[in-house]
Chain A
Amino acid sequence: MTALLTVDGVVKRYGGLAAVDGVSFTLNAGGVLGLIGPNGSGKTTLLGVLAGTHEPTAGSVAIDGRVASGRGAHRAVRAGIARTFQTTRLFGSWTLRDALRLARGEARGRSGAASDETIAGLLSLDGLLDRPCGSLTSAAQRLAMIALALATGPRVLLLDEPAVGMDTAESAALAAAVRRVADELGVAVVVVDHNMHFLMPLADTVLVMAAGAVLATGTPEEIRSNEAVIASYLGGA
């Protein structure tokens, strides 16, 4: 059986700098992969390549064995990959419902995305669908960004520091929501975050990046006790 998401030898260079330097991994439906690493280690750039934001310099990204990389973000969305951003981005003056409707319409032809109500329920956004996105609290905006990605009916969801700016209770609720998305919708999730209290209990597998390359991969327990990881990243946390 091939994995749902196959990332094969992805390289992304900016001039002389290899922001991502040969990353490979696979992920199955319903799996949650935690992606960690120091600032500037290439996490966001890797998500960008997966989501079609950037074209890879080398390597490929495939969904169900079909290459989805290097043809623009809108095609990645149609292939079933959706992402959120490290900095909140929403159609601020639109209601969340209008934004979801647009996203759903664009992904037509993909097997049905969950309904607005289902998405709102999963993410605890009930009652906020008819409010302008820009008027939501910052934590709700982070969730709304995920809702927007889910409205495209993705099979792979990429979350870039979703818990940033959230307090402990909010990030716990977020972790539960992401788990529900993986379990109930069968979506494969890649989560980048610096908050280990948020990420470690959520992730099935953790991939550690350093200087663009994979430093280690393993279960959260293995990563916590990995000498190299502690030395380069977790030690300071």
Chain B
Amino acid sequence: MRLPAAARHAGTAAGLAALSVLAYVLLKNVQGDRGQVVLLIVVWTIALTGLNLIQGLGGYPSLAHVSFFAGGAYLSAYLLGKGLPMAVCAALAVGGTMLAGLVVALVFSRTRGQYFAIGTMFFTAVVNLVLTNAAGVTGGPNGRPVDLGFSLDATLVLLAASLGLSLGAFHVLARTRFGDRLRAVREDEDLAQHVGVPTARVKLVAMVASSAFGAWAGVLFAQYNGVIAPSQFTFVQSFLMLVAIGLGGSGRLLAPLVGSAIVIGFTQLIKLGPGISQIALGVLFILVTLLVPNGVLGGITGLWRRVRPGRAGGPAAEPPRVRAKEEVAS
């Protein structure tokens, strides 16, 4: 039995609203190290919802994402320091970062796959160098304090609300033609262009949109944390963001949440010592990639489909892994 579309969308909206409420309760009540874990999962989920557009739907592994996160954090902190009102700071920080996203998208518009990954990684390395060395503005390697723009409670409310709203925005975007176009780009960019998809524009929009999510998450993170430092925005973080999306299940609505929970959980709760938890995460990523190639969520959906009786056949919502694409001799 399948519910009508309207009912399912209402269900999704209710679920996301409940998630926001749960997030608020946890943010408010969980203290100490665990509180930090909750915060990071919420912040990452907001940021990674953007990455889930460009990487998850579009198949472009952007390692620039942590830089957009940094952009939101540092720009808002800098502008707050100049005495501007918080709303203006937040708007300018997100807007400025989207501009950076536009530049990144234009610069790397002709690169694909690993070249795109390397290019955007380079961008993140440069941003991190600037954050570390432009001490007058950024506070240098030790970071800088962030003035309080929102009250703590306002920050918590915004974090919790943004969690649900970001995922909701993704849910809507993924169902529009924009979502289909991104999926087409991931499947075969050249073919997409040859059925009329303006691929360059689609990628540009996806990149700029993804930078907005990252920047807004950065604004909220800076507000909550009160201090920001370059070590929070390294390309290792960006790589972990990619890993989180892959682990969660690229392009799936809850991939940012599930992926963040796994990655943050590993790196924060299991304090095996610096480096070791990342190695463990790498091993986990490889295992998941081999065992459940569509991520944790993809694996669960696949399992569900197998055990649920009486739904053999039907349109494949779940893309088959093997692509019959025989090479034809020319």
Contacts and interface: CB of A to CB of B under 8 A. Distances in A.
A14 to B, nearest CB: 17
A87 B197 contact: no
A134 B181 CA distance: 19
A62 B328 CA distance: 31
Nearest to B329: A164
B194 A53 contact: yes
Interface string B189-200: 011011111111
A91 B191 contact: yes
B182 to A, nearest CB: 11
B320 to A, nearest CB: 6
Contacts of A164: 328-329
A103 B187 contact: no
B324 A136 contact: yes
A16 to B, nearest CB: 22
Contact of B190 (A89, A101, A102, A130): A89
Interface stretch (A19-27, A69-77, A182-190, A202-210): A69-77
B323 to A, nearest CB: 4
B324 A92 contact: yes
A141 B316 CA distance: 17
Contact of B195 (A95, A106, A138): A106
B33 interface: no
B324 A74 contact: no
A103 B200 CA distance: 17
Contact of B320 (A93, A98, A106): A93
A57 interface: no
Contacts of B193: 72-74
B180 interface: yes
B188 interface: yes
Interface string A50-73: 010100000000000000000011
A101 B181 CA distance: 11
A90 B195 contact: no
Interface in B164-195: 177, 180-181, 183-184, 187-188, 190-191, 193-195
Q: Among the interface residues B181, B188, B199, B323, which one has the most CB atoms of the partner chain A within 10 A?
A: B323
A126 to B, nearest CB: 17
Contacts of A93: 187, 316, 319-320, 323
Contacts of A152: 195-196
B194 A94 contact: no
A88 B197 contact: no
B151 interface: no
Contact of B196 (A77, A135, A141): A77
Nearest to B319: A93
Nearest to A44: B330
A180 interface: no
Nearest to A138: B326
Contacts of A92: 187, 319-320, 323-325
Nearest to B324: A134
13 contacts: A51-B194, A72-B198, A86-B330, A87-B330, A90-B325, A92-B323, A95-B316, A97-B315, A135-B324, A136-B324, A149-B195, A151-B195, A164-B329
Given A87-B328, A89-B188, A138-B326, 13 more contacts: A39-B330, A51-B194, A74-B194, A74-B198, A88-B328, A92-B320, A92-B323, A93-B187, A94-B183, A99-B195, A103-B195, A134-B322, A148-B195
